[in-house]
Amino acid sequence: MNEAEVDAANERAWSSCIQTPQSTLEESERTLAAATDLGYARGRSYALLNIGWSLYYLSRLPGAYDSFVAAQRLFEELGDVVGLCRALNALGVYNHFIFRLDKAVDFYTKSLDTAKANGIKDREIVAMGNIGELCLELGNPQEALEYLIPAYDEMPDDFNQGNVADCLRNIGQCFLQMDNLLLAGEFTRKSYELAKRAGETIIAADSLETLATVSIALGELAEAERLVATGLSLAGETGNLSQRASLLIVRGTILNCMGRPGDALVVLLEAAGLCQDINLKSKLFKAHEQLSKSYEYLGDHSKALEYYKRFAIFRAQVQHEDSTKRLRSIQTQTDMESARQEAEIYRLRNIDLKGKTEELEEINSQIVSISRIGRRVTASLDFNTVVQTMYDCLKPFLHMDMFGIALYDGDRNQLVYKRYYEDGERRHEHRINADSESSFAAWAFRNRKPVLIANKDAEYSSYLSKPSTRKGAAAQSVVCMPLAIEGRIIGVMTIQNHEANAYAPKNLSFIEALAPYVGIAVENAIIHDRLEILNKALSDEKRSLERATLKISHLANHDTLTGLPNRRLLFELMAKSVESARRTGGRIGVVFIDLDDFKPINDRFGHAAGDSALVAMSDRLRGLVRASDIVARIGGDEFVAVITNVKTRESIEMVARKVLDECSKPLSFSGKSCLVGMSMGISVFPDDGEAIEDLVNRADAAMYGVKHVNKNAYAFSSDSAPLVRRPD
């Protein structure tokens, strides 16, 4: 392979690395080896760049980074500005993907500046598109459009179609974040069609994911599922794991919305596994959120809680990293401002030095304050505490006659101030319709933009069709700051003052810098509340299960009519009594009882009367023995009484006599009385045996002996002949 062939191979790889990253990687590695053998540095630099992109699209990020850095160094040594722009852009994309947004914007800006300085229009357009995508990632879709639309307008007809499609897709994403589903669908559909024609498979799959999200928002779930299926097929062609994971999460969301949580589980577990394998935390927490919903729909509150906790943990990590980056970005801007101030000071030779120094000190002081307030407000998991903490922290900086944080209630389409402060007094529950035409907070929420009003009477018409109708003293100065999480507006922070001109643009900037922290704190409070709900549901489910278990256990061990222990529980309780008697040397009396002439009661008075008789006799038996004794029903009209912890046979006989005396008293049915007698057989532990079954059988046999001789009497099983005893 000569130098011309190396260049041709690099051109082919540059065009194919997105569609076929694996085969492009193999070809570029061969090209790199050939260029190295030739000592051809330019060929090596472009081969390294292509290797980096192939590894990136295969989600092998560490190798991609090393290749991009090596390519950048070679391009700098060679003075190849086109290659350098490409390498800087690649490093920006890499840092963008791993959420190092401060570094991403640095590389994108260097690529843009280099392209502008050298008149490389195509690289300038690409860099503008990337900066727009970064603004989109930071939740600023309006600012993103300020880069993306000019970039799209400047793209010539022969511009790389993949870049055109990607720009259109990002414009669609901006409109999606702004809840403009019509334009989101229109631009994204153009992106998909263009990417499909150009063979840009990865961009086409990304566009399908966005279109599916639009369809979900429109309630067109079948169409959303079809789009995701097509996207997954394309992702399978490229082998892009991060794209597959993202599409699987969307599919899981669709299945949950369709009421198919079982199918969603399978899909989402695969997505979570992929995210873990490639360390894709920005998607992993979304998979866990949907998994929690799937388990909740299936009634498995334990698993729902487990995955919601995982969601909260990874969400917090991503938020923390995002907050750190935002603060670093603010610090970077301050450093740049400091440098400009120093240059200005040098140029003017100390003119206005004092004023500029004070301004710089104020900026630095605000940075410290933002960091301190951010740490305080995100330390709480209770929403009311978040509101109070923010109010207390802002009081030294701003005079506020009203302060509150409203959360969006999607079910009612309202902004709800659960807690707010007015004239220093804490108040509760104020609601505003989100589509209100007389509320600055509603305007900020709908338009995803902050509001700064210096004189409400003079300026309200710029925002509202009619003046505010809120009761109380009229506020002339107003700041409303929308609170966003992952591109979603979750609420609005509102500050008001009765006086005009109370707040300036610098106050708005201060509030805007704090807004991400407040958004995180509010989201954490919402997550905490949901965890509490899941915990309660799990506890309720556990208690319900325990109650059901107890009920089942009771039904399994007790007679349903009388509530007495049944045969199964009788034998368990007797086993414990026998074991106790063995230890203490005591005796146990087993009294087998059969009601005499019970059938005529059923025949004469009916089965309901018969049941009443059984209940009445069981109540009498329970009332005639001690709490430590046992009374069980083991058959239709058969009972067993176990007299525990006695010393002599006479003690047992005394109980038997008492039972016969009391139970011989007549029962009343429908105003008529009826006598119910009983025949009883008695065995004694350990005199008549030690096995429980034997003792019951002996007592049963003695009872039948009584039946044959006479009724309404008792006999001991140890008697040589049935010695029948009747009550005195």
Q: Specify the CATH number for the domain of residue 419.
A: 3.30.450.40
pLDDT at 331: 47
Domain membership of residue 189 (yes or no) is: no
pLDDT at residue 624, as a whole number: 93
Residue where a domain terminates, one of 554, 577, 595: 554
Q: Given a cut of 60, is residue 349 above it in pLDDT?
A: no
How many residues would you count in the chain?
Answer: 728
Same domain, 467 and 600: no
Q: What is the pLDDT of residue 138?
A: 75
Determine, yes or no, domain membership for 728: no
- Tokens linked to 76: 């700098």
User: What pLDDT is recorded for position 320?
Assistant: 60
What is the per-residue pLDDT for 301?
84
> Percent of the chain, pLDDT > 70?
90
The answer on 479 and 414 residing in a single domain is yes
**Paired tokens of 479:** 């700041």
**659 token code pair:** 């039972």
Yes or no: say if 516 and 373 are a contact pair by the CB < 8 Å rule: no
Q: What is the CATH number of the domain that holds 634?
A: 3.30.70.270
Task: Say if residue 530 is in the same domain as residue 547.
Answer: yes
* Domain shared by 586 and 699, yes or no: yes
Per-position DSSP letters for 441-479, written without gaps between them: HHHHHHHT--EEES-HHHHGGGT-SS----SSSPPSEEE
- Between residues 380 and 347, which one has the greater pLDDT? 380
Structure token pair of residue 244? 């597959």
- pLDDT > 90 in the chain, percent: 44
pLDDT digits (tens, 9 = 90+) for 261-271: 999 999 999 99
Contact call for residues 49 and 90 (beta carbons, < 8 A)? yes
In a domain, 115, yes or no: no
Total domains present in the chain: 5
Measure the CA–CA gap between 255 and 251, rounded to whole angstroms: 6
Give tens-digit pLDDT for 546-582.
787 777 777 888 898 999 999 999 999 999 999 999 9
Residues 535 and 489 in one domain: no
* Shared domain check, 580 and 647: yes
Q: Are residues 279 and 425 in the same domain?
A: no
* Residue 138 included in any domain: no
- Cβ neighbours for 536, distance < 8 A, ≥ 6 positions apart: none
Q: What per-residue confidence (pLDDT) applies to 366?
A: 62
* pTM, to two decimals: 0.49
> 545 in a domain, yes or no?
yes
- 291 in the same domain as 247: yes
User: Residue range 126-134: average pLDDT?
Assistant: 87
Q: What is the pLDDT of residue 265?
A: 94
More confident: 316 or 426: 426
pLDDT at residue number 338 = 47
Give residue 406's pLDDT.
Answer: 94
Amino acid at 377: V
Q: Which domain holds residue 282?
A: 240-298
What confidence tier does 229 reach under pLDDT thresholds 50, 70, 90? very high
Q: What is the pLDDT of residue 698?
A: 94
Q: What is the structure's pLDDT at 323?
A: 53
**Whole-number Å distance between alpha carbons of 702 and 684:** 12
Read off the tokens for 654: 């005394």
Is residue 95 domain-resident? no
